[in-house]
């Protein structure tokens, strides 16, 4: 039987830290579904469709990755997709409290689903979507912290590149 994990998140936008977790996860799972939460209550820089497209482009060399959009409870989505594992990345201790809370709530909601944490590579410990967006908004160089498509899209979004001028 295929071992499927759901890797959920906001991915606004996907970073090299996320990619690192996916690549580590692929050593354990046969298939990973990267699941983007559609959350109308949260203001995001990129639309959910833009985020999906960027993730697909960034991970297109892997045939066992699917990118999907979900809403509602994560455990319900995991069940619908026949996945009994939720994959989350852990950077520093600062992530721990929130992740612990999330994992325990998910366990309470569905005891059949386990959360697996993977540590990011050391070089991504301080990488987050928010800090990257902040740097990019002021024209900071974020190359090497995000996939090339994301770097381009961030520059375009913040007006550092003309929309159609792709050289
Ligand atoms: O990248 P993020 O923002 O840390 O991801 C958080 C996410 C999407 C994994 C979490 O908010 C989530 O699963 N939301 C869906 C609703 C849900 O099931 N919440 C947890 C139990 S209340």
Angle at 121 between CA 116 and CA 126, to 5 degrees: 100
Q: Give mean pLDDT, residues 16-43.
A: 97
CA atoms within 13 A on the CB side of 45: 20
Q: How large a percentage of the chain has pLDDT more than 70?
A: 96
Tokens of 67: 């990118």
What's the CA gap between 165 and 145, in Å, rounded? Answer: 23
Q: Give domain 4-124's CATH architecture.
A: 3-Layer(aba) Sandwich (3.40)
Q: How large a percentage of the chain has pLDDT more than 90?
A: 93
pLDDT at 161: 80
| Helix 148-157 with 48-58: angle, nearest 10 deg | 150
pLDDT at 124: 95
Total-model pTM: 0.96
> Can you tell me which atom of ligand 1 is nearest the CA of 86?
9
> Can you tell me which atom of ligand 1 is nearest the CA of 70?
15
Ligand 1 mutation pick, 8, 21, 80, 107, max ligand atoms within 8 A of CB: 8
Rg (CA), the chain: 16
Strand partners, 65: 32
- The H or E element that residue 9 is part of is strand 4-9
What's the CA gap between 63 and 72, in Å, rounded? Answer: 27
What's the CA gap between 167 and 103, in Å, rounded? Answer: 45
User: Average pLDDT, whole number, for the chain?
Assistant: 95
Tokens of 110: 């569905």
Q: Catalytic residues, which ones?
A: 18, 42, 91, 129
Q: Give mean pLDDT, residues 64-85.
A: 98
Q: Atom 6 in ligand 1: which residue has the minimum CA distance?
A: 9
What's the CA gap between 61 and 63, in Å, rounded? Answer: 6
Q: Would the pLDDT of 68 be above 50?
A: yes
Q: Domain boundaries in the chain?
A: 4-124
The torsion angle over the Cα atoms of residues 50, 53, 55 and 61, rounded to 10 degrees, is -170
In the reported structure, the alpha carbon of residue 99 is separated from the centroid of ligand 1 by a whole-number distance in angstroms of: 10
Q: Give mean pLDDT, residues 139-161.
A: 95
Min mean pLDDT across 32-41, 90-99, 124-133, 151-160 is at: 90-99
Ligand 1 mutation pick, 7, 10, 86, max ligand atoms within 8 A of CB: 10
pLDDT tens digit sequence for 90-136:
998 889 999 999 999 999 999 999 999 999 999 999 999 999 999 99
Residue with token string 């909601």 = 109
Q: Would the pLDDT of 164 be above 60?
A: no
The three state secondary structure string of 19-38 is HHHHHHHCCCCCEEEEEEEC
């Amino acid at each position: 039987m295929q071992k499927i994990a759901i890797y959920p998140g906001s991915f606004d936008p996907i970073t090299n830290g996320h990619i690192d977790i996916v690549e580590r996860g692929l050593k354990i799972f046969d298939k990973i579904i990267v699941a983007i939460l559609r959350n109308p209550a949260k203001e995001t820089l990129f639309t959910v469709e833009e985020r999906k497209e960027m993730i697909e482009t960034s991970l297109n060399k892997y045939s066992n990755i699917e990118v999907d959009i979900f809403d509602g409870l994560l455990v319900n989505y995991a069940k619908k997709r026949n996945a009994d594992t939720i994959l989350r990345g852990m950077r520093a201790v600062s992530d721990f409290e929130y992740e612990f809370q999330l994992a325990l709530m998910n366990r309470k909601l569905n005891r059949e689903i386990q959360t697996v944490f993977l540590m990011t590579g050391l070089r991504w410990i301080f990488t987050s979507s928010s800090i990257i967006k902040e740097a990019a908004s002021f024209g900071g160089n974020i190359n090497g912290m995000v996939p090339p498509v994301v770097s381009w899209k961030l520059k375009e979004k913040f007006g550092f590149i003309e929309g159609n001028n792709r050289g």
